[in-house]
Structure 1
Amino acid sequence: MNFLTPGMRLMLLGTFFFSVGSLFVKMAGSRLPTMEVLFVRGLVGVVLCLIMLRKSGAGMFGKRKILLAARGILGFGAMFADFYAIVHLPLADALVLIFSHPVTVALLAWALMGERLSKSAMFSIIMSLAGVTLVCRPGFLFGGAPELDPLGLLAALVSVFLTSWAILSVRVLAKTEPPAVVMLYPPIAISLLAPLFIDGWVMPTAFEWGVLVGVGVFMNIGQFFMTKGYAIESAARISGVSTLEIVFAAMWGMLFLGEIPDLWTVGGGSLIIFGVLALGRSGMRERAAALRKGVAG
């Protein structure tokens, strides 16, 4: 995959594992409360991170404890807002808002971290978001939708804001902290805070326990690869790769849930893939230019 930068390849791998975890979330959430699913994911994440930390010999709590703790709270808040928006808004409206975070990340990374964002890279991100819009077909853009719940709309916007800051914090922390340390704090926050929002506990069946463990394993593996990607790549550029999760989700829906993608989904997915490939070409050109400049200097 020479058309993708190393950081984008890691993000692509992480997004794939996340999409598998999302399939398990959908399966588990058909009967179990969402916060219960999130709580189990947090517990599995803590166990996996502690195993990785023990094997790597890295300290458990890291060097930048305040920023790490903030990362954990941001991660929990973003996921909580995601769930609230998805429950209280039409799914398409919620997803198109939630997946608009790459543009916010790009702007924040440019404004606060001085990360360069070329015109072609910005165009590629916008192209990917246009694909997300076609796949989701939100009612407020395509018509025929009831008035949106104001609190649900606010939750979706809060999700975009918190997710963007969480991504930037990962970008900063990944330069000095091992991936397992960066990953540890969100599941700790989830494990401590999610029970406060669980409205009754539903005992999972044996099959559901397996699905819940799958949620934790696949999503935390996805987070591991994403964290490594942020350590070596521009946050603005590789965050756009996360929009591919919708393409993977459409594929899983067709294979396992009997959901056949329509022409809108195919067209939107094509735009997303085109945008990601264009981002990769832009990144490779920028890296080559930087190398030439370094050699010339």
Structure 2
Amino acid sequence: MKLFPRLGAGWMLVAGVSFSCMGLLVKFGAHYFSSAELVFYRSIFGFMIIGASVIAEKRSLMTSYWYLHVIRSFSGLVSLWLFFYAISHLPLATAITLNYTSPLFLAVLLTFIAREKLNPFLFIALLVGFVGVMLILKPHVNDSQWFAALMGLLSGLGAGISYLVVRIMGQKGEPEWRVVFYFSALSTLVMAVIMFFPVGVVSPQPFSIAKQHIGILIGVGFAATIGQLTMTRAYRLGKTLLVANLAYATIVFSAVMGIVFFREWLSTSAWLGVVIVIVSGIMASWITNQRSME
């Protein structure tokens, strides 16, 4: 990454491409693996990378915020699982957009849980954002896809909860790498248990992988890890607000990939809904960021 020190917030575009590729590979992998299996392999890859970094740099894993790590890890894991499920059953752009409602949910959580004052412009942004969601879901989503659509929307809620807890831990001085480590560790452990003791969400022969499908799993883990690293770098080097706005490029990249690889042409109303969600998300991020600076 030292080869491109001046990218700054532009690293978020690299992250967007990486996360879009992850979604694309998850959709391909859904033909051969359950969502739980895909989450496991995505998690263990990240765990090995961050774990190697912790060992190499002899970082301390001691923390005074175990309960916050558990909440963040659990909400993040559930969100990721539901997100992968939505990708498996919905057009790629639709699933990604529903997951990217997280800034809207974060704004709601900051108001009702963190007791921050509700800005009238934020209220408008929230209303507009969820109107966009409705345009995406109806009439574009058919009867057999409503459950997956609900799971996609709940993945956005889960991500919003995760961001809220990460925000709280950041204010307490907890380093980001430790948050990522415990999330990866818990996700890997929980999904490994589920795969060893199938409960109807995984195949009856866990860890049995055909050679021709290994590349998909490696690709999911690699793309997700690159996305996390470049996103972190973007927030560190670029302006927070610009980085948050560029994050929505993931939806655009995913829409293009959905059309190219799966011929997933969305209706006009669905495209309008996507645009509305992006605009309202940017508004919510901007207002939330302004409030945190007050």
Tell me if both proteins adopt one fold, taking TM over 0.5 as the criterion: yes
Aligned to 1:204: 209
Provide TM-score, normalisation by structure 1: 0.69
- Note the 1:217-232 alignment, pairs <5 A: 217-224=222-229
Q: Which runs of 5+ in 1 are unaligned?
A: 1-5
| CA distance in structure 1 between the partners assigned to 2:211 and 2:35 by the alignment | 18
**Amino acid corresponding to residue 178 of structure 1 in structure 2:** P
Contact 2:91 / 2:258 at 8 angstroms: preserved in 1? Answer: no
Residue 218 of structure 1: how far off its partner (Å): 1.9
Residue of structure 1 in register with 2:250 after alignment:
245
CA distance in 2, matches of 1:215, 1:170: 24
Mapped contact 1:115–1:236 kept (Cα < 8 A): no
Pairwise CA distance, 1:46 = 0.6
Superposed, 1:1-297 pairs within 5 Å as 14-83=15-84, 98-113=99-114, 118-120=119-121, 123-124=124-125, 127=128, 130-131=131-132, 133-134=134-135, 137-138=136-137, 141-142=138-139, 145-146=142-143, 159-175=155-171, 176-195=173-192, 196=194, 197-200=201-204, 201=206, 203-224=208-229, 244-260=249-265, 263-264=268-269, 266-272=271-277, 274-275=279-280, 286=290
* Closer, same or farther: CA 112–231 of 1 in aligned 2, 3 Å: farther
Task: Specify the code of the residue in structure 1 equivalent to 2:184.
Answer: P
Structure 2 CA distance for aligned equivalents of residues 156 and 271 of structure 1: 17
One-letter amino acid of the counterpart of residue 27, structure 1: F
CA distance in 2, matches of 1:50, 1:224: 14
The one-letter amino acid of 1:208's match is: H
> Alpha-carbon deviations, 1:21-48, whole Å to 9, x = none?
1111112222222221111111101101
> Counterpart amino acid of 1:52?
S
- Percent of aligned positions that are identical: 24
**In structure 2, C-alpha distance between the alignment counterparts of 1:238 and 1:275, rounded to whole Å:** 16
Alignment partners' CA distance in 2, 1:228 and 1:206:
34
Residues 218-274 of structure 1: CA deviation (Å, up to 9, x unaligned)? 2233334556778999x9998776554332211122344444555455544544554
Q: Give 3-state SS (helix, strand or coil) of 2:159's partner.
A: helix
Q: Superposition RMSD on alpha carbons, in Å?
A: 4.6
Matched length: 278
